[in-house]
Amino acid sequence: MEINFENIKVIGFDADDTLWVNETYFREAEEQFTSLLEQYETKNKIDQELFRMEIKNLELYGYGIKGFMLSMIEAALELSNGEVSQKTISEILEIGKEMISRPVEILDGVVEVLESLEGNYRLIVLTKGDLLDQERKLARSNLSRYFHHVEVLSDKKEKNYQDLLNHLEIGVDEFLMIGNSLKSDVLPIVNIGAKAVHVPFHTTWQHEEVEEPREKTGYITVQKLTDVLQYL
C-alpha cells in the first residue's frame, strides 16, 4: 500500500535502537547476570525468571536501566532462595552502573537523516524509559540541536500519543513517527490515524515483540534509516 507523506509537518523519532544502540547492552547485561547466578539455576530458567520479574515490575518502576537493576536483584533473591551473597548483589549493581555510564553509540545514518530533514520538518524525540537516563543519553549524543521538543513517556500506547499530540497541537494527519518497535512506535500511531515508518533493529526485547499485521495500513518498513529520505 502506497502512503502519501505530503501533509507531514512533524516527525517524531524513537530514541533507543532508532537513534542510538540500547537493547544490545541489555542483552550483554543479561549474559553477565546469568553468569553470576549459574550456581543456582540453568541459563534458561534464569532468563525466564528475570523477564518475569521485569514484566511484574513495569507498573512500579517503568522502563529503563534502574528498573532493570532492581528486577535483577529481586530475581537473584528468588532464584537463590534468599541466599545470594552481598558480593553478588554489589556486582549486579555494578552491571547497571556500567550500562548507565556507557558512551552513546549513534546508529548509522542518523546524523545524515536529521541534517536532511531539519528545516523542512519539525523534529521531536518521543521515547520511553527513565527520564534522567534518557536526558543524559541525548546530551551525550550531541543530537539535541536537531530537535524542537523531547518527550519521555511512561508508555507508548494510543492514549499516550494522542494526549501528547493534543498538547503540542499536532494534527494526526500531519504527524509521522519513526522507530524500531512495531508494538511501541508503529501500531499505536497508525491506530490513532497518524503515519509511521518501521526501521527494524537487529535485536528486540521479548516484551516488544508482536506479529506484523497481514495488511500494512498507515506505515511502511525500511531496512535502514536513510531509506526514509526517499519518501520525505
Characterize the bridge pairing of strands 10-13 and 122-128.
parallel
Q: What is the pLDDT of residues 165-190, one digit of tens each?
A: 999 999 999 999 999 999 899 999 99
pTM of the model: 0.87
| Annotated domain spans of the chain | 10-20+105-230, 23-101
Q: According to the CATH classification, is domain 23-101 in 3.40.50.2300? A: no
Q: Does residue 193 carry a pLDDT above 90?
A: yes
- Position 210 scores a pLDDT of 60
Instruction: Provide the β-strand partners of residue 196.
Output: 177, 219
Burial (CB < 10 A; 0-12, 13-18, 19+), residue 178, is buried
Model pLDDT, residue 120: 94
Say if residues 184 and 204 touch (Cβ distance below 8 Å).
Answer: no
pLDDT for 62 equals 83
The hierarchical CATH code for the domain 10-20+105-230 is 3.40.50.1000
Percent of the chain residues topping a pLDDT of 90: 75
pLDDT at 204: 61
**DSSP secondary structure, 180-204, as one string:** S-IIIIIHHHHHTT-EEEE---S--
In degrees, to the nearest 5, what angle opens at C-alpha 225 toward C-alphas 12 and 67? 60
Mean pLDDT, residues 129-146 taken together: 90
- How would you classify residue 101: left for phi > 0, otherwise alpha for psi between -120 and 50, otherwise beta? alpha
Please tell me the predicted confidence (pLDDT) of residue 214: 64
